[in-house]
Structure 1
Amino acid sequence: MYEEKAMKIVGLEIRLYAPWVHSLKEKRMIVKSLVSKIQNHFHVSAAEVGEQDVHQTIVVGVASIVPHRAQADRFAEEVQRFVEESTDAQIMDIQTEIYS
């Protein structure tokens, strides 16, 4: 009997807006801090994935392996809540992808 794969990969792309940032150096400090906090709290892969040359826009990607769809949805909600609490930057958009 064929058993459906249970493991899922969840990927998030979080777009933030930080209007007070006026240099790439300042932005890098914020991104480095946020990525480090996400990695340490959730033990996942996280990195800046876009808009590296735009001062006030931050795009962070987060990826994790979870056992099933329900946990993928819960993980996405937890990461969003954590990011909201961990930075003064405003979340503009979150894209979530779940792969089997």
Structure 2
Amino acid sequence: MTATIIVMYVGAMTFDLLLGDVRSLKEKRSVVRPIVAELQRKYAVSAAETGQQDLYRRTELGLAVVSGDAGHLTDVLDRCERLVAGHPEVELLSVRRRIHGDDD
């Protein structure tokens, strides 16, 4: 009898964003929600606004993804970063990325 080894990788990213010409929390939501929805729809990641909710020109977005393949996980995280950075209505100030494997 052979044992099957299941390997799982979890990737997490946090984006610190400066929003463009936004003057209210309502306008902020109209910028942030479509980005979160696009990340979820295109890449099947869990994504949400995770910080700076009380400031209308700054936000923090967080996302997480699980994969059985480290290469696939890295590819998804790269694509998510490019998607967020490509939105002209936000300025990407910083990105934090963490990948956890079974040996962590």
TM-score by length of 1: 0.87
Higher-Rg structure is: 2
Give CA deviations for 1:40-64 in whole Å, capped at 9, x if unaligned.
1111111000000011112111111
Aligned to 2:28: 27
Unaligned runs of 5+ in 1: none
Q: Contact conserved, 1:34 with 1:87, CA < 8 A, in 2?
A: no
Query: 1:43-54 residue pairs with structure 2 within 5 A?
Result: 43-54=44-55
Residue 72 (str. 1) matches residue 73 (str. 2): yes
Give the aligned partner of residue 40 of structure 2: 39
Aligned to 1:10: 11
The aligned amino acid for 1:31 is V
- Secondary structure in structure 1 of the residue aligned to 2:7: coil
Q: CA deviation at 1:89?
A: 0.4
Q: Which amino acid aligns with 1:10?
A: G
Looking at structure 1, the residues matched to 100 and 6 of structure 2 have their Cα atoms a distance apart, in angstroms, of 11
Report if aligned partners of 2:11, 2:97 keep a CA contact under 8 Å in 1.
yes
So what's the TM-score if we normalise by structure 2? 0.84
Q: Please state how far the C-alpha of 1:87 moved relative to its aligned partner.
A: 4.4
Counting matched residue pairs gives 100
